[in-house]
Amino acid sequence: MRHAWMNSPSLALWGAVPATLALCYLISWQAVLLGLLLVGVLGLYLRAAAGVARLLWRRGRSRPVFQHPSSKG
């Protein structure tokens, strides 16, 4: 049994607008979460790279480095 108000275009519009907004909201939340995940992964990579660079720099400093003859007193 169909009612006349079910066929009204305004009701379809009122049903489509919140559905579209909800979809956009969900997509935006997924985009935000994906962005946070990417930032976190990039942060981990940067911290790891900084740690490796620091380790190599420390190892390079502890090793006797070539000194220019003019720098010797």
What does the radius of gyration of the chain's CA atoms come to, in whole angstroms? Answer: 31
Mark out the alpha helices in 1-73 (DSSP H runs): 9-62
pTM for this entry: 0.44
- Which pair of tokens denotes residue 44? 């981990």
- Contacts of residue 5, defined as CB under 8 A and 6 or more positions apart, other chains included, come to 11
**What are 4-34's pLDDT values in tens digits?**
555 666 666 777 788 888 888 888 888 888 8
**What are 26-57's pLDDT values in tens digits?**
888 888 888 899 999 999 999 999 999 888 88
